[in-house]
């Protein structure tokens, strides 16, 4: 599996504080069946990481993992807050893409609704960046507007739901919204958004199985992430990869 969203680089954001913690976290990724991780440290007003700094930190940590004998492949990426993304120039945003792909992991604000969110995302897309929306299920704007994600997806965005959202780690509302987004076929990637080995841990297949969505694992945790990183068309979601739904229709495509 490929984890497209996680905080693994040591000492760069609110992920692991140092090499020892990051190595331990990387071992948990491997134990969870994850072969490749795109390291996506925060790039925001609170965490002013740069593309150049993240690339250098990724190379250094790659050498650390090799020396520690941890068989996890890592690539550089970023989780760029929407408010920071609109300030950055295109060269910088390009360096923050997931690996060498066209895709930018974009984080909408969690706690506040954003008027004109589709227009702001569209502005970034019009500059040539493909947008993967980070954990919309955790953002209140998507709780209040059940058509918002469908609007963004129709305009070319993809969506990443966090595995632990599906099992209720972020509460029942987030869980309900995450499941409804998956059931409405508006989600393309499931990622861990791991930060540590205690509270926000690496894991994809296990939480998906717990949520009754094991049929989604191969597509959302391997096929789509691999296609994104390779610059290929996203494969269609396999038929029957959802779960028997009790609450279909909360989120609509159009
Ligand atoms: Fe994150």
Q: Where are the domains of the chain?
A: 2-230
Contact between 132 and 161 under an 8 Å Cβ cutoff? The reply is no
DSSP calls for 143-204: HH-TTHHHHHHHTT-EEEEEGGGGGTTT-HHHHHHHHHHHHTT---EEE--B--SSSS---S
- 79-127, pLDDT tens digit by residue? 999 999 999 999 999 999 999 999 999 999 998 888 899 999 999 999 9
- What separation in Å is there between the alpha carbon of 248 and the centre of ligand 1? 28
- CA 5 to centroid of ligand 1, rounded, Å: 6
Q: How far is the CA of 52 from the centre of ligand 1 (A)?
A: 19
How confident is the model at residue 111, as a pLDDT?
A: 83
Q: How many CB atoms lie within 10 A of CB 63?
A: 9
Are 33 and 188 in contact by the 8 Å Cβ rule? The answer is no
Ligand 1 is an ion; residues with CB less than 5 A from it: 79, 193
In angstroms, rounded to a whole number, what is the distance separating the alpha carbons of residues 76 and 78?
7
Instruction: Assign domain 2-230 to its CATH architecture.
Output: Alpha-Beta Barrel (3.20)
Ligand 1: distance of its center to the CA of 114 in Å?
19
What pTM was computed for the model?
A: 0.94
Among all chains, which residue has been given the structure tokens 């360096």?
95
Given a cut of 50, whether residue 247 has pLDDT beyond it is: no
Q: Which residues make Cβ contacts (< 8 Å) with residue 174, sequence separation at least 6? A: 137, 138, 165, 168
**What are the pLDDT digits (tens) for 38-71?**
999 999 999 999 999 999 999 999 999 999 999 9
Residue 117 tokens read as 């969110």
Give the C-alpha separation, 221 to 193, whole Å. Answer: 13
**Could you give the angle at the alpha carbon of 195 between the alpha carbons of 243 and 69, nearest 5°?**
100
Distance 204 CA to ligand 1 centre (A): 15
């Amino acid at each position: 599996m490929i984890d497209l969203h996680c905080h693994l680089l040591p000492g760069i954001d609110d992920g692991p504080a140092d090499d020892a913690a990051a190595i331990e976290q990387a071992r948990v990724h491997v134990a969870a069946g994850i072969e490749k991780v795109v390291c996506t440290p925060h790039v925001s007003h609170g965490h002013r990481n740069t593309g150049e700094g993240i690339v250098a930190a990724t190379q250094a940590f790659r050498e650390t993992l090799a020396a520690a004998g941890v068989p996890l492949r890592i690539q550089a990426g970023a989780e760029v807050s929407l408010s920071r993304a609109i300030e950055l120039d295109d060269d910088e945003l390009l360096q923050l893409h997931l690996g060498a792909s066209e895709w930018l992991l974009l984080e909408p604000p969690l706690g506040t609704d954003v008027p004109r969110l589709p227009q702001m995302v569209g502005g970034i897309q019009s500059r040539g960046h493909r947008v993967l929306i980070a954990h919309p299920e955790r953002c209140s704007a998507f709780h209040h507007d059940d058509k918002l994600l469908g609007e963004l997806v129709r305009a070319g965005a993809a969506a990443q739901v966090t595995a632990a959202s599906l099992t209720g780690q972020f509460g029942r509302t987030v869980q309900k919204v995450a499941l409804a987004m998956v059931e409405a076929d508006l989600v393309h990637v499931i990622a861990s958004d791991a930060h540590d080995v205690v509270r926000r841990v690496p894991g994809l297949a296990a939480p998906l199985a717990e949520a009754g969505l094991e049929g989604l694992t191969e597509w959302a945790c391997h096929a789509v992430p691999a296609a994104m990183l390779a610059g290929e068309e996203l494969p269609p979601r396999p038929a029957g990869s959802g779960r028997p739904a009790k609450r279909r229709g909360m989120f609509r495509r159009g």
